[in-house]
Amino acid sequence: MNRTMITATNTLSQLQKQMDMISHNLANIDTAGYKRREASFTDLLVQEYRNQPNNALEPQNRMTPFNIRQGIGARLGQVQLTLSQGSLKSTGRTLDTAFTTEGQFYRVMVQNEDGSSAMRLTRNGALYLSPLSDNETMLVNSDGHAILDENNQPITITGNVKNFNINESGLLTAEMYNGTSQEVNLGVILINKPQFLEQKGGNLLGLPDNLAELGVTEEEVMTNLAGPLRNQIAIQQGVLEQSNVDMSKEMTDLINVQRSYQFHSKSITLADQMLGLVNGIR
């Protein structure tokens, strides 16, 4: 009976994590540029009982492995980031942008609590101007984090801007009231291995701190689309990318997880009832 309870308890804690992840997906269904996450499960340690002393004497055309295996539950093996394209919503705002291909992200600079800065990635293309002085502004995202150019530098604009134009390859042109203009290339990253990205708060992604221990380099995970590589960038102005969360799928997954949670909870109850029967034997 103890094995039954241990197996159910181990699995229940992991099912709770999956429910939390599904809830997080549903909560961000209206978040621009959000990418859903999907969980996969793997078995914990399995104990094998050899009830067949001589496997060579057993029928060789059987479809199942020899002996008996007993597990102790399942665990959340991996949370996979799904980079599928979300639908586009027209806004008509000149500083609203969206990527029209998968795997491309804006680079933003985030200030940590200790005063240090770190680069993060986002698909949210809602850009804004944050004043630095009377005649200078900085391009930021909806959370106030600085948008970086192709050289990893914050984008600042001097003068009174009349209009913005952002072409397909990410070239931002700021037209001034005095007839002049300023041009800057938005910093864009192409993700090659999304399995190494981590959630870094809000709608931001980043690389893990132990990337070297995982046996990969930053260049293997992502590619800076600068110079001749900028022709790979696909940006559309005046629209925002919606999240790629499918409510019907998330609700279906949630029901399945709840049923599985109910099943394992019931197994604990039944095991307890059987222990009660054993204790009642005289």
What pLDDT is attached to residue 263?
87
pTM to 2 decimal places: 0.80
**What is the token pair recorded at 93?**
């705002």
Q: What are phi and psi of 64, to 5 degrees?
A: -115, 160
Q: Provide the residue-wise pLDDT of the chain in tens; the chain has 282 residues.
A: 577 777 787 788 888 888 999 999 999 999 999 999 888 766 665 656 566 666 666 666 767 766 666 666 677 767 788 889 999 999 999 999 999 999 999 999 998 878 788 899 999 999 999 998 888 999 999 888 999 999 999 999 998 889 999 999 999 999 998 889 999 999 999 999 988 888 888 789 999 888 888 889 989 999 999 999 999 999 999 999 999 999 999 999 999 989 988 988 888 888 888 888 888 876
pLDDT reported for residue 58 = 64
Amino acid at 122: T
Q: What is the pLDDT of residues 88-145, one digit of tens each?
A: 999 999 999 999 999 999 999 998 878 788 899 999 999 999 998 888 999 999 888 9
Residues 6+ apart with CB under 8 A from 226: 150, 151, 185, 187
Q: Are 164 and 94 in contact (CB under 8 A)?
A: yes
In three-state secondary structure terms, 177 is coil
Shortest CA distance to 191 belongs to which of 99, 116, 111, 128?
Answer: 99
DSSP character for 11? H
Predicted confidence at residue 77, as pLDDT, reads 66
CA dihedral sign, ordered 273, 274, 277, 282? negative
* Cβ neighbours around 151 below 10 Å, total: 10
Amino acid (1-letter code) at residue 177 = Y
DSSP string, 52-79: -S-GGGS-TT-SS-SSEEEE--EEEEEE
**What residue type is 148 in one-letter code?**
L
CA atoms within 13 A on the CB side of 182: 17
Supply the pLDDT for residue 78. Answer: 72
pLDDT of residue 13: 82
Output the CA angle 97-99-100, nearest 5 degrees.
120
How far is it, in rounded angstroms, from Cα 206 to Cα 26?
22
